[in-house]
Structure 1
Amino acid sequence: MEPFNSAFGKNVSLVHPAYFIISGFVGLPNMKYYYVFLFFVCIVSVLGNVAVMAVICLDQNLRTPKYVAVFNLAFVDLLGSCALIPKVLDIFLFNHYYVPYNDCLTFLFFCYTCLSMQALNLVALCYDRLMAIMFPLHYHVKVTHKIMFSMITFFWLFVITCTLIAVGLLTRLSFCGSVVINSYFCDHGLMFELACNDNFPSIIISFLSPILILWLPMVFILSSYICIAFALFKVAVVKERVKALKTCTGHLSLVAIYFIPILITFTIGAEIHPNARIINLSLTSVIPPMLNPIVYVLYTQEIRLSIKRILKFTQRDKVMAK
């Protein structure tokens, strides 16, 4: 602690509260229906993502670099849903608004890690589509298991490091006033704003993290699809152009599901009521993990065929057992 404090030029006595109070949904009318909706979202998210992970594990035809990224996205969505929604329901449905200090930091860590990893995983899937369309003859050289595993491992290490830095900086703050967080979870920005000592390092990390984890991935994805669009315009045969474009529909849907609500929130967030903003942010957090597996089942022919094969083998085994 002393080296850290001396780095800022002074020694401080830190004041850590016993708990934080999460008050985001308190007082909003008819919230019981929203909690039922969140419970439904959690069940669908868990079942859908577990199903996608199981199909990829069971079908050897899906042991490709692309589906390494799809599997990781399903895992992140599963982890994020299990980390966020049950805790939110516990806080507001059972009136456990008082969240212990360490539990709040842990809650923050898992929520931010999963939300950030979702964006970076979309970059990995975008890289796969970019190489498949821009360099079809060299696709199997440019997109290998080693490259995809390395990319995803780097993203995990990067996100975990950024989140740990954010959490570590929070532990350097003193909270000698209000401990009420007007959000649906332990929100990093709202937490460091409650501090009564110098929170400038947390302000810096809260400024840099969205740029590195949210906006740069979005710029990369948009730039990639601009390149893909130019490449497809050069394809003379319309049928081939449409066929190539169809391979991107699933990923484009995931990008839209993830980024459009975030853009809307950041664009009109200051103009809407704080309660409406909290509801919108919570939906932005829980809807993509629920829709992602549905999108991949609907838009990805390989997964649909794999499900049919698995069901066919299961039925055949039942018949043979009889």
Structure 2
Amino acid sequence: MPEDNHSLSVEFVLTGFSDHPELKTLLFVVFFAIYLITMVGNLGLVALVCVERQLHTPMYIFLCNLALMDSCCSCAITPKILQNLFSKDKMISFYECMGQFYFLCLAETADCFLLAAMAYDRYVAICSPLHYHTRMSKRLCIQMTVGVYIVGNVHPIIEESLLLRLTFCRSHQINHFFCDVIPLYRLSCVDPYINELLLLIAAGSILVLTITVVLISYFQILFTIFTMKSKEGRGKALSTCAAHFLSVSIFYGSLLFMYTRPSTFKEGDKDVPIAIFYTIVIPLLNPFIYTLRNKEVINAIKRIMKKRFCSIVK
């Protein structure tokens, strides 16, 4: 059989979470609850931004797309986890593997650029409030969003095109709970050096570029905050930025540890806890981190609830 056809006909076994079969019921309940909360929180935020005209600003447009990508990430990973917890074979075909990685890579790449765009938006809003509508116009916001999705789609297409050059004749057991490129490299009979190098260059470039934008923006924001005369305004802005920066730090930290360290390709199932953070925990936390302290979002929710209540009473 030709090498390409051999690769496409391969089936893999996802062995993640199979070391403790006695915990499968508990894990199923936990992951199912996380999945429901993640989907309700993120899709609810998307619907809220779409319905409320007052939220049609660059900040909330970026936040809406971030929530959409977090939903995409959760849909790509969690349903397969739930299925495999009670599946005997835990099989996943090469096509399913490619599809799962594509949507995960799309979501994570888009998240990187959306977080950078949101950091820049907050920088302009706090440091140059008088020029905000000029520097962050709706046209620029739309252009940035379109650019995010273009880059977000190009990156996984490149990675998956390179995967097609590999053949898998070793053990087909993936010591992970989803199809990531790094575990697949470990199973390849072809030297994946080119894949590893290009992954390091592509992922590293994306992370370095977006992290630089985030850090510069937040350092400027912090400098502006500490020069504020109002203690109340300084404390409010600092608490909001601290929550946002915590989310960004966990997200970028886990991606950097996963994809840019030299020893990554030699590790085994030690990557699983790190992967849980950026595939499951971050999509769960983001809608709460970015909305619970946001008065505009809270007020929008109250207005919708009030309208619904009034319509029911009538």
Same fold (TM over 0.5): yes
3-state DSSP class of the match of 2:189?
coil
Q: Deviations over 1:135-174 (max 9, x none)?
A: 1110011112111121121121112111111001101112
Q: Deviations over 1:209-233 (max 9, x none)?
A: 3312334322321222112222233
1:21 aligns with 2:19: no
The CA distance in 2 between the partners of 1:303 and 1:253, in whole Å, is 20
**Candidates 13, 21, 31, aligned match of 2:23:** 31
**Alpha-carbon contact 1:90-1:96 (below 8 Å) kept:** no
Q: Deviations over 1:58-100 (max 9, x none)?
A: 2111111111101101111111111110012112332342211
Structure 1 length as normaliser, TM-score?
0.86
3-state DSSP class of the match of 2:17?
coil
Q: Percent identity?
A: 29
From the superposition, tell whether residues 313 and 234 of structure 1 become closer, same or farther in structure 2 (CA, over 3 Å): same
Q: Once the 2 structures are TM-superposed, how far is the Cα of residue 314 of structure 1 from its aligned partner?
A: 0.8
From the superposition, tell whether residues 281 and 86 of structure 1 become closer, same or farther in structure 2 (CA, over 3 Å): same
Show the counterpart of 1:164: 157
The CA distance in 1 between the partners of 2:151 and 2:258, in whole Å, is 25
Q: Once the 2 structures are TM-superposed, how far is the Cα of residue 207 of structure 1 from its aligned partner?
A: 0.7
Q: Deviations over 1:252-297 (max 9, x none)?
A: 2432442355567788x98xx9555413422431011111112233
Read off the aligned partner of 2:121 and give its amino acid letter.
D
1:291 aligns with 2:285: yes
Gaps of 5+ in 1: 1-11
The CA distance in 2 between the partners of 1:196 and 1:264, in whole Å, is 25
The CA distance in 2 between the partners of 1:112 and 1:35, in whole Å, is 24
Show the counterpart of 1:211: 204
> Once structures 1 and 2 are overlaid, which stretch shifts more, 111-120 or 300-309?
111-120
CA RMSD of aligned residues (A): 2.4
Read off the aligned partner of 2:217 and give its amino acid letter.
S
**Candidates 57, 64, 68, aligned match of 1:64:** 57
Gaps of 5+ in 2: none
3-state DSSP class of the match of 2:290?
helix
Show the counterpart of 2:302: 308
> Once structures 1 and 2 are overlaid, which stretch shifts more, 157-166 or 87-96?
87-96
From the superposition, tell whether residues 264 and 166 of structure 1 become closer, same or farther in structure 2 (CA, over 3 Å): closer
Read off the aligned partner of 1:229 and give its amino acid letter.
L
**Candidates 161, 173, 179, aligned match of 1:186:** 179
**Alpha-carbon contact 2:127-2:221 (below 8 Å) kept:** yes
Show the counterpart of 1:229: 222
The CA distance in 2 between the partners of 1:204 and 1:26, in whole Å, is 31
Show the counterpart of 1:102: 95
**Candidates 297, 302, 319, aligned match of 2:313:** 319
Show the counterpart of 2:193: 200
Q: Once the 2 structures are TM-superposed, how far is the Cα of residue 199 of structure 1 from its aligned partner?
A: 2.2
Aligned length, in residue pairs: 306
Q: Deviations over 1:5-47 (max 9, x none)?
A: xxxxxxx944314211211222235431222211110000011
Read off the aligned partner of 1:25 and give its amino acid letter.
F
